[in-house]
Amino acid sequence: MADEAVVERPAEPDPRQQPPQSQPQDKLGDENAHDIDSPDGSGSEDDEAAEREKERERAADRFKDLTRDPLAEEQGEDGQTDLAAATRARRSGQRLLTSGRDFTSFDRTRIGQAHIGDINVSLDARRPAGAMRGGPVPEEELRRLRRAYVEPEGYVRLRRALESRRLLVLGGAPGTGRTCTALALLDEVTRDGAGDGDRVHRKDPGGGEGVRGLADEVSGGDGERHGTGYLLELALDRPGTLPPDEMDLDRLASALAGRSAYAVIVVSVGSAANPLLAGRYGMICEPAPTDELVTVRLRERLEEEHGGAESAGLLDRAALLSEDPEITEAVGLAELRPAEAELFASLLAEHLLGDLSREKLLSGCRSLAAVQAYEWFAGVDRALAAPPVPAVGDGRTPVRSGTAALFHPVAFRIALAVLGGGSHSAVSAAAHLLTWELSVQSDPDSTPSRPLFCDDPESDLALSRARSDAGAVDVAGAEVAGKLIFYRGSALPAAVLAEVWDRHFPVRAPVVRWLRLLADDPRADVSVRAAVAAGELSVRDFEHGFTELVRPLAGTSSPRRRVFAATALDQVAGHASHRRAVTKLVDDWSRYGTASLRWTAAMALGFGRAADTVDDSLDALARIGVRDEGKQLAVASLNVVRLLTLPEAGTVLRRLRAWADHRGAEYQDLALVTIVRLALTDVDEVLDDEPGTPLGDRGDWPLLLALAATRPEVTGRLADLFRTALGTARSRDVALDALETLLRTAARKDGGVWTRPGLAALLPALTTEERDRRRLDWLLRRMMRDQDRPLTAEQASALWWLAVPARQRRSDEEENHG
């Protein structure tokens, strides 16, 4: 296309005009002999030509049908799976559950305690919920608390409130140091008023005393209990436990004032405690600062072994060691709670003192998240087995705690482990679904009920060590602003799933039902993340996971469920211990499986880990694609395209060339459909790489152009295959439309450069012959005459000169100007 040919208005084309055809290059070109106009002949020859034209049109229509999206089948009103969103969700899910740690490293299946050096961590699931017994707090314990306690933010405000009101309801998440803060407050306010006797008393939370019982004790006590401090921990989630009302608290405060005494009532944040914390006596206890806690515990531990001068040097070494990336990754918690900080400091101290190897230090650090997960789930529903006990002197009728209210916090933690990093609404909705499943499993004869207006998002975050943040959410293929939710620590998701799956077998049934429900969710951010989690659970018990999750969904008629099963299988294949089992399974499905199982196998093969080599993956995909006259050729070609994002792209292109040269029409179609699909598929639909890689930075490019721009060694083979699709009758129309799509991506709507570098690499290799250039000239002119999106003369000229090498330009100029 010379410049003047572009600028001048072209003559109106004959409506019957066809684009120039390539000369037959192989067996695919045999059809093209009928595309060239033949001389006029007899009527029979005209009839034969018309019949051949109809046959060509039927073949072209069938080929166009093969290029459809295989994920668009039977999707109903929810729409098809968004490949790009699914790819991003899978990448996020893998990042959530794969942090370079082996979350089976802390084995709690046969032991009740972890013994690390001289540090013991209790893991006894049979211990009662109220581990602290009632009675006076020893003075030695109070002295140690004064020496090691680190005041949280707002401590002075808490002390002043206690001094002025005599009673404080202190709320906080378990493990945040709320009990230590309560003891520190009581120690401070009673130091000058209780004489030489026991100043602080801890009331037994299991004694049935409650607030009214404590008020009776204080008001009816003798003078020896003047100036005493009382600590009462209320477990409001236990059956029959009713929160005290404001009148009960006023009566207790009056009794305390009459005895110059003080009391701190400790409660867990949540819907049951919210009325108490919103009242005049309620206040929130902030977590203690982690860094200061570790430093204080380290100093205390090191000074026990060495003097102050020598311990200072060890403290500096400990500070550097605590920031070691390997140590930080092993801990996997963003903020340590007081008990964790004490254990972490002890581990560092023993390592620095030579009593603990680095391997055991790392193992101990990994135990922190495992212990947290254990404490969250051990004996959660033990309260359901206990009969409701009315409070002493309480005229109200105790009500058995509902299973839904009891299970919601643990359901939220499991949902966050599976969907963490997703939207807060998605995690909350999934948590409510799981709450229902857990409740039905626990009490199948009752219909679970849950109050509609008692949720407290802030309490959910605090009780689950979670945080929310602003971010982007995928909605119908577009990113919109939303609120995302995460665990405060990379180790917690895997630790939670390991705890639930390994130690609590009865929970597996409701969790499996819940994951199946998530598999049907139209949001890829939900269904694909759930599939990744299902794969990780299957690694822990492949027999159970495969039987209950993978196999039932792989054989269904729903593409979304089959994608779920394929994603789970790929996640299992990512573990060396299970890859051989997955490759054998997928190979069997590709050979002997039903149509649904073959479809699932094709999707699993596209990830690149369900076969030993890329050649093996291509063999299996070819078996699936050509079987039954190519009924599953569409899904096979899609997954061949996905394999082209791997480093072995050259191997895939050589196989495509072999299929194109094959005698069988199904093999030829597999090659042609794949190369056309390659031009129509964007990088972010099939690539697992994060942005920052050559392909990852071109997420909105057609994969064909991205490969041409980033892998010049394969550009010639890409062009050769695409030229074959353009020159074959049954694929020509679809391939021309695909080429037009590629050309229109040269620049963005605002004029910025888009895929122009990719076109500059591909077009010269695609137009090496005069006939190829004539085809491009014809297509550019058609684009200029497009009624809806006409190409300007300048744009057409720029694309033309991308295709024509410099030496060819000189030849054209010499020919035009002599």
Mean pLDDT of 153-173: 92
Residue type, 578: H
State the CB neighbour count (10 A cutoff) for residue 358: 12
Mean pLDDT of 573-590: 96
d(CA 598, CA 390): 61
At 544, list the tokens.
């159970």
Mean pLDDT of 284-307: 79
State yes or no: pLDDT of 101 exceeds 50. no
Mean pLDDT of 430-444: 91
Q: Binning pLDDT at 50, 70 and 90, where does residue 383 land?
A: low
At 164, list the tokens.
């002025």
Mean pLDDT of 244-251: 89
Residue type, 79: G
State yes or no: pLDDT of 338 exceeds 90. no
Of 113-117, 241-245, 274-278, 548-552, give the range with the top mean pLDDT: 548-552
State yes or no: pLDDT of 24 exceeds 50. no
Mean pLDDT of 179-192: 90
Mean pLDDT of 449-458: 74
Q: What is the pLDDT of residue 384?
A: 67
With a pLDDT cut of 70, the percent of the chain lying above it is 81
State the CB neighbour count (10 A cutoff) for residue 760: 17
Query: For 61-70, 168-177, 321-330, which range has the lowest pLDDT when averaged over its residues?
Result: 61-70
**How buried is residue 456: exposed, middle or buried, by Cβ count under 10 Å (0-12/13-18/19+)?**
middle
Q: Binning pLDDT at 50, 70 and 90, where does residue 83 land?
A: confident
Phi, psi for residue 561 in degrees, rounded to 5: -70, -35
Q: What is the pLDDT of residue 105?
A: 37
Q: 91: closest CA among 500, 585, 607?
A: 607
Query: For 56-60, 517-521, 682-686, 732-736, which range has the lowest pLDDT when averaged over its residues?
Result: 56-60
| CB distance 167 to 300 below 8 Å | no
State yes or no: pLDDT of 32 exceeds 50. no
Q: What is the pLDDT of residue 309?
A: 58
Fold of 135-149+151-284: Rossmann fold (3.40.50)
